[in-house]
Structure 1
């Protein structure tokens, strides 16, 4: 047996702050936090809807709180940022070929945003 100690490189908690790529990655992954809160609010809203008019009105009053509105706006911005980064990497992760030719990355990204806009419009019309 050898008495040598193996080399263990020091890893600080702020390792990801040194490079822009890692900062953007951590920011993208952190977009889930306001979305979790938004999902919990909606889940409690469904529960209040089942319980009756008084519970529903209490939930509506809760949702009218300026802090909750700010968290909802943050969740919207976070989901848009997440979609932007996801749509941007999609052509690299899954290149699409049509008749043997690669489709331009811009067309793929724009078609994804067009699908988001169309689905959002359909939901707005239904609701």
Structure 2
């Protein structure tokens, strides 16, 4: 047996702050927090819709609160950032070939954003 001590590298809590890639990754992962609140707000809205008109009106007044509006705007920005990073990674993860040729990544990313815009317009017309 040896009396040597093994090397244990010190790992600080802010290790991810030293590299831009990890900062961006942590920011992307943190976008889930406002999205959780947004989802909870919607779930309570559905519950109040079931309870009746008075509960629905109180939920609408709650949603008009400036803090709730700010949380919803942050959630929207976070989901758009999340979509941007996902759409950028998608061509690397799933390379699309048409007739043996690799499709350009810009075309794939633009096609995904076009699909988001198309679906958003359809939802706007339905609502």
TM range (shorter): over 0.9
Q: TM-score, normalised by structure 1?
A: 0.98
The residue that corresponds to 1:74 in the other structure is 74
1:4 deviates by: 2.0
Partners of 1:49 and 1:6 in 2: how far apart? Answer: 61
Q: Does 1:93 align with 2:93?
A: yes
Measure the CA separation in 2 of the matches of 1:51 and 1:104.
51
Which structure 2 residue ranges, 5 or more long, are not aligned? none
SS of residue matched to 1:89: helix
Deviations 1:59-103 (A, max 9, x none): 001000000000000000000000000001111111100000000
| Unpaired segments ≥5 residues, structure 1 | none
Return the TM-score normalized by structure 2: 0.98
Q: Which residue of 2 aligns with 1:56?
A: 56
Structure 1 stretches (4+) deviating beyond 6 angstroms?
none
Q: Deviations over 1:9-49 (max 9, x none)?
A: 00000000000000000000101110000000000000000
Aligned residue pair count: 127
Correspondence for 2:24: 24
C-alpha root-mean-square deviation of aligned residues, in Å?
A: 0.6
